[in-house]
Amino acid sequence: MSSLIHFYQKLDADFIRGEGCYLWDKTENRYLDMTSGIGVNNLGFSHAELNIEIQAQIQNYIHLSNLFKNTWSEKLSDQLVKITQLNASFFCNSGTEANETAIKIAKLYAFEKNIENAKIIVMNQGFHGRTLGALSATSNQKYKEKFGALLDDFIFVDFNCIESILDAIQQHHVCAIMLEPIQGEGGIHIASTLYLKQLRKICDQYKILLILDEIQCGLGRTGYWFYHQKAEIVPDILTIAKGLANGLPIGACLVNKRLNDLLTPGLHGSTFGGNPLACRVALKVLEIIERDELILNNKQKGEYLINQLQSKFTSVHGIKSIRGVGLMIAIELNETIDDISQQLFLQHKILINITQNKIIRLLPSFLITEDDIQYFCQSLYDFIKTQNINNKVYLE
């Protein structure tokens, strides 16, 4: 038994190396990773060009205090600003910290504007992280109920429902609306383009901040640099993390010009945030995504994966729905299959992730091939047809 705190339900796996979208165990068994570390290893494991950047940077220094100029964080910020049309970035080490930053900025905005008892509208099924602020903005009661009083700054409304936003604005002093354009942990629920456009309009009308959390759906995964760009809008605050440095810890909170003027020394900070190693690698990640046209690739591979899944599983009654955008796809089952991750791992050497008990969440690496996709779909089909839930076989 390991001495680690048992916060995770772990697979019984011991991987010793990875390459591309594969991991290998001690006995040289190869596993296809359909999760990329929950949307982190977007450029796969052990990427040669990223390894060169890592090697080069550790020869100079890994950490540099935020009290000094840091060229890598400046270059990374410039690149992110260019991609997002926002104005400035703050770097931290994770998604939850990026969202803490966003929440603090929203509170600061309310303070500066003298909005009393200001509220932030967030979404049912939304997920923003595990620290107390981000957790307060997260909807799942199971994650929150044992932690006593959390921040009371949040109003929860239904996702994709403009009426409930307008109701909340009538009833409260709202300073911000915060959401994931595609809810990941909640089970891959996609904001409509119309909804995103309407949110932007309402935020402009009522001088409310629009905060988008693209920690899971951003960085090219959906066939756009950021999914909200499909709706041709720009948020006031954008949070990103996960795949930004392909596995090195980094998060970022980007803001528009108006907010940047509010943010002055001493209001926020992070010792490790913006460290040169993570920022240098992140810059290379962005370069590779653009150079190798991975955004278009993700759109095409995603369509291929959805088509393969739909053609294989149309007559399978155990599958409730198949949905997604680009390489962010959900296969929702009618019933939970016990130990499905462990069984697919053991029987088919495939790594998947389950969210909301019965949703298979696919977030494969951008390097996945059509052969990998075919192998995955066939293996899942072979597995599903052996299942017998409530005396009903999955396959009809």
Q: Check residue 184 for interaction with ligand PLP (CB under 6 A).
A: yes
Per-residue binder mask for ligand PLP (CB under 6 A), 112-151, x = binder: ---------------xxx----------------------
**Count of residues in contact with ligand PLP, rule CB under 6 A:** 15
Nearest approach, Cβ of 230 to ligand PLP (angstroms)?
17
- Asked if 344 and 362 touch (Cβ cutoff 8 Å), the reply is no
Report the run of H or E that residue 24 belongs to, with start and end: strand 22-25
Q: Where are the alpha helices (DSSP H) in 61-161?
A: 71-84, 95-112, 132-136, 141-144
Contacts 24+ apart (CB under 8 A), 330-337: 330/187, 330/188, 330/355, 330/359, 330/360, 330/361, 330/362, 331/359, 331/360, 331/362, 331/380, 332/187, 332/358, 332/359, 332/360, 333/358, 333/359, 333/360, 334/358, 334/389, 335/389, 335/390, 337/387, 337/389
What does DSSP assign to residue 147?
S
**With CB under 6 A as the contact rule, which of the stretches 68-76, 78-86, 211-219, 311-319 interacts with ligand PLP?**
211-219
Return the residue of 37, 44, 95, 223 that touches ligand PLP, per CB under 6 A. Answer: 95
Q: Which stretch binds ligand PLP (CB under 6 A): 15-23, 210-218, 268-276, 292-300?
A: 210-218
Looking at 153, 180, 236, 372, which residue binds ligand PLP (CB under 6 A)? 180
Piece of the chain touching ligand PLP by CB under 6 A; list 95-103, 112-120, 292-300, 365-373 = 95-103
Compute the distance between CA of residue 291 and CA of residue 387 in angstroms, rounded to an integer: 43
| Closer CB to ligand PLP, 42 or 308, in the complex | 42
Q: Which of residues 222-241 bind ligand PLP (CB under 6 A)?
A: 241
Q: What mask, x for binding ligand PLP by CB under 6 A, covers residues 22 to 51?
A: ----------------x-------------
CA dist., res. 124 & res. 37, Å (int) = 25
Q: Which stretch binds ligand PLP (CB under 6 A): 179-187, 290-298, 318-326, 387-395?
A: 179-187
Smallest distance, ligand PLP to C-beta of residue 119, A: 20
Cα–Cα distance for residue pair 132/113, rounded to 1 Å: 25
Angle, helix 48-60 to helix 276-291, in steps of 10 degrees: 150
Does 286 help bind ligand PLP (rule: CB under 6 A)? no
**Contact footprint for ligand PLP (CB under 6 A):** 38, 94-96, 99, 127-129, 180, 184-185, 213, 215-216, 241
